Amino acid sequence: METKDGATPAVKQRVIDAVLAITASRGLDQATMREVAKEAGVSVGSVQYYCRTRDDMLVIACRHVMDRIVARGEALPRTGPVGSVVRAYAQEFLPLDEVRADEQRVYLAFVARAAVVPDLARLQHEFTARLRAACAEAFRLAQERGETHTAFDADVAASATVAMLDGLLVHLLSDPEGMPGPLAIAILDEHLARFVDIGIPV
Amino acid sequence: METKDGATPAVKQRVIDAVLAITASRGLDQATMREVAKEAGVSVGSVQYYCRTRDDMLVIACRHVMDRIVARGEALPRTGPVGSVVRAYAQEFLPLDEVRADEQRVYLAFVARAAVVPDLARLQHEFTARLRAACAEAFRLAQERGETHTAFDADVAASATVAMLDGLLVHLLSDPEGMPGPLAIAILDEHLARFVDIGIPV
pLDDT for res A23: 85
Q: How many residues does chain A have?
A: 202
Digit-coded pLDDT (tens) for A73-86: 999 999 999 999 99
User: Do A93 and A47 lie in a common domain?
Assistant: no
Which B residues 21-40 touch A at CB under 8 Å? 24-29
User: Do A42 and A71 lie in a common domain?
Assistant: no
Name the residue in chain A with its Cα closest to that of B110: A112
Does the pLDDT value for residue A131 go beyond 60?
A: yes
How does the average pLDDT of chain B come out, rounded?
92
Number of compact structural domains in chain B: 2
Name the residue in chain A with its Cα closest to that of B178: A125
Chain B contact for A130, CB < 8 A? Answer: no
Residue B123, min C-alpha distance to chain A (Å)? 9
Chain A contact for B118, CB < 8 A? Answer: no
Q: Regarding predicted confidence, which is higher, B187 or A23? A: B187
pLDDT for res A9: 87
The pLDDT-based confidence of B38 (bands split at 50, 70, 90) is very high
The pLDDT-based confidence of B29 (bands split at 50, 70, 90) is confident
| CA-CA-CA-CA torsion sign (B79, B80, B86, B92) | negative
The range of the structural domain enclosing residue A42 comes to 1-52
Digit-coded pLDDT (tens) for B119-171: 999 999 999 999 999 999 999 999 999 999 899 999 999 999 999 999 999 99
User: Do B146 and B168 lie in a common domain?
Assistant: yes
Domain CATH number, residue B25: 1.10.10.60
pLDDT for res A1: 45
Give the ipTM: 0.93
The whole-angstrom separation of Cα A55 and Cα A65 is: 15
Does the pLDDT value for residue A150 go beyond 60?
A: yes
The pLDDT-based confidence of B202 (bands split at 50, 70, 90) is confident
**CB distance A194–B191 less than 8 Å?**
no
The dihedral region occupied by B13, where left means phi > 0, alpha psi between -120 and 50, and beta the remainder, is: alpha
Does a structural domain hold residue B42? yes
The pLDDT-based confidence of B25 (bands split at 50, 70, 90) is confident
pLDDT for res A35: 93
User: Do B125 and B145 lie in a common domain?
Assistant: yes
The whole-angstrom separation of Cα A62 and Cα B124 is: 24
Digit-coded pLDDT (tens) for B91-112: 999 999 999 999 999 999 999 9
Residue A121, min C-alpha distance to chain B (Å)? 5
**CB distance B191–A25 less than 8 Å?**
no
The whole-angstrom separation of Cα B78 and Cα B142 is: 13
Does the pLDDT value for residue A165 go beyond 60?
A: yes
pLDDT for res B111: 95
Chain B contact for A105, CB < 8 A? Answer: yes
**CB distance B125–A175 less than 8 Å?**
yes
pLDDT for res A8: 86
Does a structural domain hold residue B118? yes
Average pLDDT over residues B51-73: 90
- Which one of B159, B173, B183 has the shortest CB-CB distance to A115? B173
Does a structural domain hold residue B91? yes
- Which one of A109, A160, A165 has the shortest CB-CB distance to B191? A160
Does a structural domain hold residue A199? no
User: Do B107 and B126 lie in a common domain?
Assistant: yes
How does the average pLDDT of chain A come out, rounded?
92
Does the pLDDT value for residue B1 go beyond 50?
A: no
